[in-house]
Amino acid sequence: MTDPRLAGRRVHVKVPATTANLGPGFDTLGLALAVYDELDVAVRDAPGATVVVHGVGEGEVPTDETNLVVRSIRHTFDAYGIPMPGLDLVARNVIPHGRGMGSSGAAIVAGVMAAKGLLEGIVDIDSAGLLARATELEGHPDNVAPALFGGLTIAWMAEDGPQHKRLTVHRGVSLLVCVPETSTMSTALARSLQPESVPHADAIFNVSRSALLIAALIQSPELLFASTEDRLHQNYRAAAMPETDALVQALRAKGYAAVVSGAGPSVLVLCGDPAERLAAAEVVAAASTTPWQAHMLAVDFKGATVVPNPVETVA
């Protein structure tokens, strides 16, 4: 039975795409991107849930209670001991699926944020609660943290759950995200390609580069190329994404700070200014034999938002 306090409630949610790892910051660093999925949710009298999907995933993702967004809403309601009411959802998706831009993390965050909005005045879900619920579903916080809070995030696990620190990116940093038109990569497959242990020297190498990358992103963009070197994950995954690896190597040979975006196969280029980004895009067009869509993106600084009882109705 639907909690009478939830009757008639509606929310509108907006969640940014993300790019994680950023080269050396494996499972730790993430950036929010100014590309957004949007979601409208309305409480209904009938139990269960139905989902209408527009855009990316239309005709492909589940439209019932097995949908990841619905499962995330239910997970959040369950965490606070309140039964999920019947729901109607309309998703307008722009974030590519399986391309290393945080689509699953965005879906999870959309559900958690929708639950937060629906439960407003009934349960107060703070930032720690949002991150905890999202991480429980995602398994690691490096994508969900920037999707929730925007900007550059450092995420880590502590005894009392996932933690994060949000930082503001230097205004000179410009992002180029190169998305392949056809190939995808499963995060689970990408993780399965990594060894259980790495050489001590490689671990030290990545610690130094990760620390340097923070300085480069918030203060010294001229250090972006040196700070994006990696020995923990990209080489192990290269054989599964030959086109991605070839593009990363071609860009780095020209001096551009190119890395694999998340689990791939998209490529992220961190540039020190807009002119450098334009030049990097020209290298992509000239060097790749596989069709790539080059997106010149801004960093999202707001993170996910939820508006209870929006003016527009769900349709």
CATH number for 261 = 3.30.70.890
Count: domains in the chain? 2
What pLDDT shows up at residue 315?
Answer: 43
What is the rounded CA–CA span in Å between residue 31 and residue 230? 17
Domain match, 148 and 9 both: yes
Residue 315 in domain? no
Question: What is the rounded average pLDDT for all residues in the chain?
Answer: 93
What is the rounded CA–CA span in Å between residue 167 and residue 48? 39
Residue 163 in domain? yes
Domain match, 8 and 139 both: yes
Domain match, 107 and 229 both: no
Domain match, 200 and 109 both: no
Instruction: Show binding-site residues for ATP.
Output: 96-106
Domain match, 75 and 196 both: no
Domain match, 249 and 184 both: yes
Question: In the structure, how many helices (H) and strands (E) does the chain have?
Answer: 10, 11
Read off the tokens for 43: 């409480």
Which parts of the chain register pLDDT below 50?
313-315
Residue 204 in domain? yes
Domain match, 60 and 138 both: yes
What pLDDT shows up at residue 195?
Answer: 66
Residue 289 in domain? yes
Read off the tokens for 47: 């139990």
User: What range does the domain containing 205 cover?
Assistant: 174-297
Domain match, 152 and 226 both: no
pTM for the structure as a whole: 0.93
**CA-based radius of gyration for the chain:** 20
Instruction: Show binding-site residues.
Output: 96-106
What pLDDT shows up at residue 191?
Answer: 58
Domain match, 141 and 269 both: no
Domain match, 147 and 38 both: yes
Q: Which residues contact 25 (CB under 8 A, 6 or more apart)?
A: 142, 154, 210, 213
